[in-house]
Structures are given as C-alpha cells and as structure tokens.
Amino acid sequence: MFSKILVANRGEIALRIIRACKEMGIGAVAVHSTADANAMHVRMADEAICIGPPPSADSYLSQSAVMSACIVTKSDAVHPGYGFLSENPSFAQMLEDHGVNFIGPSAEHVRRMGDKIEAKRVMQSLNIAGVPGSDGPVESSDDAQRIANDIGFPVIIKASGGGGGRGMRIATGRDQVEGAFTEARSEALAAFGNDEVYIEKYLDRPRHIEVQVIGDGKGNGIHLGERDCSLQRRHQKILEEAPGPAIDPTLRARIGIQCAEAVAKMGYAGAGTVEFLYADGAFYFIEMNTRLQVEHPVTEAVYGVDIVREQIRVAAGQGLSIQQDHLNTRGHAIEARINAETVPEFRPSPGQVTTFHAPGGPGVRMDTAVYTGYEIPPWYDSLVGKVIVHSEDRASALAKLSQALDELIIDGIEHNAPLFQKLCANKDIQDGNYHIHWLESWLNETSW
C-alpha cells in the first residue's frame, strides 16, 4: 500500500480524498494556491505545500508544479480528484515516467476515452452503441451538411476533446448547419485548443444516465448501478440521484453488466463512469469519464461502497475488495450541488461566509470544505458543497432533502439552495418525470 498520497485538487473533493487516506492509514499531502492558504483541505492534510498563485493555470493546472510537489514531499501516488488534471493524459504519463503512481487508469486509457470520437469507436467495438452520427471528425461544413441530411434533423455538433457544454451547437434544419459547425469549431478551439468536432442525432427528451464502473486492470470489472443526472442547466448537472427513477432492475442489470464487461475487456484500472442518453428504452453511449465523479456519493450511499478507497486499492495493486454478486441497491439517494451563485441569474457569488451550518440527521451527508469565516475565492468553480440524502425510497429521500435544505445555513454569500427547495416541491420532480431539457424550460417559465 502507498505510504503517502498527494491530493492534486482543492475544496470538498480534496477533503473527501484526505479523509479516505487517513482512514486507510496513508499520509495525505495537500497542494494549494496562495488563495487557498487557509482552506480546510490544507488544514486537514498531514502536509501542505503551496504550488503557485491563484490562477488555476499557474497552480492546480500546472503539471510541473504538482510534479515538483510530489518530489519535494516524497509522495508515491497522486489522487487527482475531478476536474483540473484528472483527465489529462500527459500528466498521467509524466507521473508514470517519474515512478509516481496515478490513482486512475493508464495514460493511454485517459487519452482514448478523453477523445469522444475515439471513445465511441472503442465502445462500439465492445458492443456498446452510441448515438447515430458521424464515424469520426467532420472536416468541413459540406461534410456536416451531408451527414446531417443522412441521420435527420435535429442534429448536435460537438467538440471532440471537450466537455461542460462548450463547443456544442444544435441545428434544427439545413440552413443552420454551416453556422452551427463554424461556431462549434471556434468555441472548441478557444476552450480546448482543439477545433475537431463530430455530429450526432439530437434526441429531443432523453434522460442522462451514467453507470459507475470500477476495473482492477487485470481483466475484472464491476458496476455499481446507474445514476440519473438529467437535471441540467447549460449541460451542467445540478442534481443527481440513484437509482434512476426510469430504470427498472432488469434494465439496470443489463446495462450495468454490459459496462462492467467492457471495462474488464479494456483492462481498465480504477473508477470510471460510462455515460448514456436514454430514450424509449434504448441506451446511447456518449462518453466515458475516467475519474471520480462529483456525484459519486449517491452511489456510495445506495451500494455501501467507498469508491475512493477502491480507487486507492486498485492503484496500489491490491485489486477490488468487492464482487458483483455481493452488490445490491439499498434505498434511494439524491445529491444537490450547492453553488455560490445568485438565482435565477446564476452569477457567481464569491465572498466571506459569515455563518455556516451543515444539515444533519440519519441519512444526511454534506461534503464541503466551507466553514464560518471562510473566504470563497473568485478564481475557481462555484461549487461550495453537496447535500446528499439517503432513505428507504425516492419519496422519503425527496422529503429528507427538503428538510436538509431547511437546516442548511450559508450567510454572507448568495447560493442556490432555494432552487432545490422549489424542485423538491415540483410535481414533475416528485413523479420522476423529467429529462435533460426539463430544467431550462422550467426555469424560463418560473417566476422568482
């Protein structure tokens, strides 16, 4: 087992990983920018080292700074969390070249799955079908027009190497294809340094379903069911739940086993998420995330598995501590992402938290690194914490989430907890009757 793990992240996810390290008797090293000198993950780690000024490019995204921190602290492994360097194949390769373990899949798997076109090819070879669309990158607007005509409108043009809703444009007819193609390429180049795009059929009201998998890198893989992440704004998830309200046990077992077999055949090592659009009883693969997900706690609650611990075990060569036959769902879990932002404008709201109180009680968990007096910096993502509830069924989980949100106190900044209170009281949400476009339509129709 590792003696010391450097956590190459910040905020609630860094604190989550540090807790897992301490429970396993492993030393935890925090890295931080000058803006995060007083952050909770810095306080809770066994060691901490500053890696640069506030801008992410000069600190958390600086491969050389993180690598230097590994050398200085003599860390033998790095856990990247999510975001930042977690899906950067050159970073994973750099660690490998310097004899430092990357707590995640191989650099090759990170690279192949990070390219959405290549990921579709790999999954198709493993009998997991994608959304109908181009076989590879689209080189010109004429090609885009031809492919769109073949698969039928509407279509969506997507950045090959991107994510987070950037580099995406929808065309509902022939007259929109050229403009959508040009805009998607331009935004992709600006956001990711890569203007390669591809085309898919645009599904009108699908759900976003993702399957949690873990492989041991030795030809074995398991799945931990699915999460429904359909409540999204601008392609960003805001609420996730497990199990998915639209997926029955037979479907769950079928798609889960299919994904587990795929990662086993790939020789994949570590945690990953296979993401689908689900419509009319069919699953369409869209991408695979080769890292820990923001929403992993709902799966942990339903299956009783510590996913971070399993990541560390696999990376250390100890394999999985769990077997598929021993895994069963237990109740229902929901996660609400609490962001420092105004509602309904959704503008970031950094500043000092003058009072903070986390909700509690049976089946309530809050992952956060915020405390009274903490200054939320303007440099990073607006996520300040996640309220996770677990109960015997979906209805009681929604009731518990509403109660937990009532208890949550974050004074001094604006935050989006009132949004979730409205959602908990909405009949469509209570009935599980929503899709990936539902939230934006509802927001446009709702008065605040």
- Catalytically active residues are 291
Q: Could you tell me where the DSSP H helices lie in 267-393?
A: 296-303, 307-315
Q: Which residues contact 327 (CB under 8 A, 6 or more apart)?
A: 222, 224, 303, 305
Q: How far is CA 380 from the centre of its chain?
A: 16
3-class secondary-structure state, position 374: coil
Cα–Cα distances in angstroms (integers) from residue 264 to residues 110, 325, 385, in the given order = 15, 16, 33
Residues with Cβ within 8 Å of 345's Cβ and at least 6 positions away in sequence, in order, are none
How many Å is the Cα radius of gyration of the chain? 21
Residue 413 near residue 349 (C-beta atoms within 8 A): yes
Contact predicate 374/37, CB 8 Å? no
Which ranges constitute the DSSP H helices of 162-242?
174-192
What 302-306 contacts at long range (C-beta under 8 Å, 24+ apart), as own/partner pairs, is 302/224, 302/225, 302/242, 302/243, 302/329, 302/330, 302/331, 302/332, 302/333, 302/390, 303/224, 303/225, 303/327, 303/328, 303/329, 303/330, 304/330, 305/224, 306/20
Cα-based distances in Å from 202 to 158, 193, 437: 11, 25, 12
* Both tokens assigned to 19: 């807790």
* Cα distance between residue 96 and residue 413, in whole Å: 42
Residue position matching structure tokens 């390290």: 21
Buried b (16+ CB within 10 A) or exposed e, 98-119: eebbbbbbbbebbbbbbbbbeb
Which DSSP helix (H) or strand (E) runs through 223? strand 221-233
Q: By the 8 A CB rule, do 358 and 369 touch?
A: no
Tell me the C-alpha distance between 408 and 402, whole Å: 10
Q: What are the CA-CA distances from residue 238 to residues 233, 341, 376, 383, 440 (Å)?
A: 7, 12, 19, 10, 12
Which residues touch 353 (CB under 8 Å, ≥6 apart)? 370, 371, 372, 373, 374, 375, 376, 410, 411, 412, 413
Question: Using an 8 Å Cβ cutoff, are 103 and 77 in contact?
Answer: yes
